[in-house]
A and B are shown apart, each in its own frame.
Chain A
């Protein structure tokens, strides 16, 4: 990669930039960090936090693999093991996978669509703080031996008041509420940003595929997350104030939990996958130096995946004895979703075929993604079959299946995305050499860990067991899986080392080290606080390839206040100007009030009496107008 120094190109008017920098930059110091409303600053800390949770979740998995390495092992007892597997699932689902995808989206989407920030910068900050509070709450509880121990799905009655005494499941319910609030505000954030803040000329059908993916993901979050947020509140009420939602003796229903949970839980998988598909499209285009084949098909596939994912939830409940006919409907729907996923795979392969790929590390991860994801996909078709699923449901076959899907569909594209966008975020390249090692260790490790689990499941090994008897003969394959897990750990360790070393010593990246086509590569690396000195105008799907020289842009945004351009929904015609708020501490205070409310509520209903006024007060502080701008905004006449 030839790194082009940032100053080798002619620059815009220096004074404009200086003033923009003055207006948009974060206040220095710790205070600045706490009050920042910059999507890049928040996106970075979001990504880092999510990666820390990824490592924690991975370590939990490592300890579990150690326990299962041989029959009747004694690394973890049943009580600790149950907390470990629950923490692993919750961490990966709620604290890593969804947040990290959202975080990358929050960082990249404004840059990709030529915006200066997300639509609601303070809400963005609030979302991060709530997410962080939820993660800390869960992990502090875990260290206090109050880690949830009924699985990330926490089926009642096991998770109900009678069979899970103490506060462990309340921690489960409430920490989910934190992360769902964070995910929901981020979804609103992304949708409005994508709808209303696109660069002039970036019509919907010129949006980069990653932006499409984030848009679809945000809509799925918007419609899926309220279900889990609500159902966990119902559970908390059953446990704390003795409601009877799930008590069959008083007209409640254990299956109500499963329906409500999986109506969220299945889209959740696609919420995690969809941004990954977006990453892949971007990397494929750049590394084959041609636009991804079949843009309309790709977009329609994303949309139909998003839509169909809401019709599959019952396939998690095939063993509950629902009527056969209804189940076949869900089999059909589950199989149907394979088609749009398949179309995307075929389009990428066609694109690679037509181009001349460069085998950079991001591209390696894309190849790895296709292999692992396709294996997870075909086993997904198998478990969509009612009869077959009733055999392998809740066995290690399913464990193998969804790890293939999630690691293939989310972790590999994510790591590819890291190698791809790291230069943009930090200004430095990650080491390709370490990257190759990282890739191959992970690729071999993941397959070694999870492939034997298919066989274990068919042999009858159930999920969520803390041990197994020697006589079952499951020992050797489990040992193999544990060896694979060691490789995965080493692979992830290499990645961490690569990031740590490259942050300081990596080669300078320049604006556009890969020769890519989307707008984020038009600004410097790392981008300035205001992203673009002039908002670019877009005339096609690959603006940087279509405009090799100067980019067209608009002028007229004020540089002394945080002006952003609002465009129309479909055609992205400039429509109005909007002023963004300066840095503020209120989102953090509101998040603290939220935390006080949620945490005290699981100990006493009086928590509402303490927490609600605090929350309303902080919201008032947030919403109350500060720093009136007398120059621009016409004061409304004070009519008597």
Chain B
């Protein structure tokens, strides 16, 4: 091994950093890109298959119901309020704020997961009825796996926040969890527009 001469000392560098300074943040971005691509492919397939039909939804298929999906979309948007507050609290090292935010979001996540079940029924078509049904179900399922993962992660984090022992960097982790939450809820809005609203418009 080459011998070295020390030119600097890094011992005083911070150990808890937020945002793009943290490794986890970049890792989360990486997975957001991957999952974003998957959802993009679902939407691309949706419009590609659309070309094979003269009407959309196809003949003899009802339009998707809008009540529950719209509630869900609203909930997804609103859920960002507690999550943003938890994110900000984590940057202030305000553990109480983080706990409240995560507790509320855990509850919301469970509600959203249950609502997802009813959203499938709101589609008014089976996955094996035709390609329209297939791609609508696939899009909902693809996003559903993100929802399920994020629900599990948020709930696990909530338990950790209350049970401890906590370290500073767990709060940075909470902030990264918030980043994923923004993605998961944010990406739903265009998907909601495509899957539920566009059949009424197109």
Q: Do A and B bind each other?
A: yes
Binding site for B on A (CB under 8 A): 6, 9-12, 119-120, 123, 184, 187-188, 191-192, 195-197, 200, 222-223, 225-227, 229-231, 233-234, 237-238, 241-245, 247-248, 250-253, 256, 259-260, 511, 522-524, 528, 532-537, 544, 550-558, 565-566, 568-569, 574-579, 612, 616, 619-620, 623-625, 628-629, 632-639
Closest partner residue, chain B, to A180 (CB atom):
B34
A2 to chain B, nearest CB (A): 16
Could you tell me if B5 and A524 are in contact, using CB atoms closer than 8 angstroms?
A: no
Closest partner residue, chain A, to B11 (CB atom):
A556
A565 to B17, CA, bound (A): 13
Could you tell me if B27 and A188 are in contact, using CB atoms closer than 8 angstroms?
A: yes
Q: Identify which of B30, B128, B137 contacts A188 (C-beta below 8 A).
A: B30
B121 to chain A, nearest CB (A): 17
A523 to B168, CA, bound (A): 34
B29 to chain A, nearest CB (A): 9
A537 to B33, CA, bound (A): 32
Q: Which residues of chain B have C-beta atoms less than 8 A from A555's C-beta?
A: 6, 8-11
Q: Which residues of chain B have C-beta atoms less than 8 A from A556's C-beta?
A: 8-13
List 18 other contacts, CB 8 Å, given A10-B3, A222-B30, A245-B138: A11-B3, A120-B27, A188-B27, A226-B35, A226-B38, A243-B133, A251-B52, A511-B1, A533-B1, A556-B10, A574-B10, A575-B21, A577-B14, A619-B152, A620-B156, A633-B168, A636-B171, A638-B166
Q: Identify which of A196, A234, A242, A523 contacts B1 (C-beta below 8 A).
A: A523
A475 to B170, CA, bound (A): 68
A245-B49, A576-B13, A620-B156 are contacts. A553–B27 as well, Cβ < 8 Å?
A: no
Could you tell me if A566 and B21 are in contact, using CB atoms closer than 8 angstroms?
A: yes
Q: Identify which of B5, B14, B38, B156 contacts A550 (C-beta below 8 A).
A: B5
B130 to chain A, nearest CB (A): 4
Q: Which residues of chain A have C-beta atoms less than 8 A from B17's C-beta?
A: 566, 575-576
A222-B30, A552-B7, A619-B152 are contacts. A237–B2 as well, Cβ < 8 Å?
A: no
Q: Identify which of A528, A574, A639 contacts B95 (C-beta below 8 A).
A: A639
What are some 21 contacts across the A-B interface (CB < 8 A)?
A120-B27, A188-B31, A222-B37, A226-B41, A234-B45, A242-B127, A243-B128, A244-B131, A245-B45, A250-B129, A251-B49, A550-B2, A550-B3, A550-B4, A553-B7, A554-B7, A556-B12, A574-B10, A574-B13, A620-B156, A623-B153
Q: Which residues of chain B have C-beta atoms less than 8 A from A6's C-beta?
A: 1
Could you tell me if B37 and A200 are in contact, using CB atoms closer than 8 angstroms?
A: no
Could you tell me if B9 and A251 are in contact, using CB atoms closer than 8 angstroms?
A: no
Could you tell me if A191 and B26 are in contact, using CB atoms closer than 8 angstroms?
A: yes
Q: Which residues of chain A have C-beta atoms less than 8 A from B15's C-beta?
A: 576-579, 632-633
A252 to B45, CA, bound (A): 10
Q: List 3 tightest A-B contacts by C-beta distance, closest first.
A: A556-B11, A188-B30, A243-B134
Closest partner residue, chain B, to A522 (CB atom):
B2
Q: Identify which of A12, A196, A624, A637 contacts B156 (C-beta below 8 A).
A: A624
A544 to B3, CA, bound (A): 12
A251-B131, A633-B167, A636-B166 are contacts. A533–B152 as well, Cβ < 8 Å?
A: no
Q: Which residues of chain B have C-beta atoms less than 8 A from A553's C-beta?
A: 4-7
A123 to B30, CA, bound (A): 13
Could you tell me if B128 and A244 are in contact, using CB atoms closer than 8 angstroms?
A: yes
Closest partner residue, chain B, to A230 (CB atom):
B41
Could you tell me if B3 and A551 are in contact, using CB atoms closer than 8 angstroms?
A: yes
A636 to B5, CA, bound (A): 37
A187-B30, A523-B2, A553-B7 are contacts. A636–B93 as well, Cβ < 8 Å?
A: yes
Q: Identify which of A256, A616, A629, A635 contacts B166 (C-beta below 8 A).
A: A635
Task: Determine if B135 is an interface residue (Cβ-Cβ < 8 Å).
Answer: yes
A568 to B26, CA, bound (A): 12
A241 to B9, CA, bound (A): 60
Task: Determine if B20 is an interface residue (Cβ-Cβ < 8 Å).
Answer: yes
Could you tell me if B48 and A243 are in contact, using CB atoms closer than 8 angstroms?
A: no
Could you tell me if B4 and A191 are in contact, using CB atoms closer than 8 angstroms?
A: no
Q: Which residues of chain A have C-beta atoms less than 8 A from B130's C-beta?
A: 244, 250-251
Most buried by A among B20, B53, B131, B164: B131
A557 to B95, CA, bound (A): 28
Q: Identify which of A184, A231, A557 contacts B10 (C-beta below 8 A).
A: A557
A29 to chain B, nearest CB (A): 27
Q: Identify which of B5, B133, B156 contacts A623 (C-beta below 8 A).
A: B156
Task: Determine if B132 is an interface residue (Cβ-Cβ < 8 Å).
Answer: yes
Q: Which residues of chain A have C-beta atoms less than 8 A from B9's C-beta?
A: 554-556
A338 to chain B, nearest CB (A): 27
Q: Which residues of chain B have C-beta atoms less than 8 A from A119's C-beta?
A: 23, 26-27
Q: Which residues of chain A have C-beta atoms less than 8 A from B58's C-beta?
A: 251
Could you tell me if B23 and A578 are in contact, using CB atoms closer than 8 angstroms?
A: yes
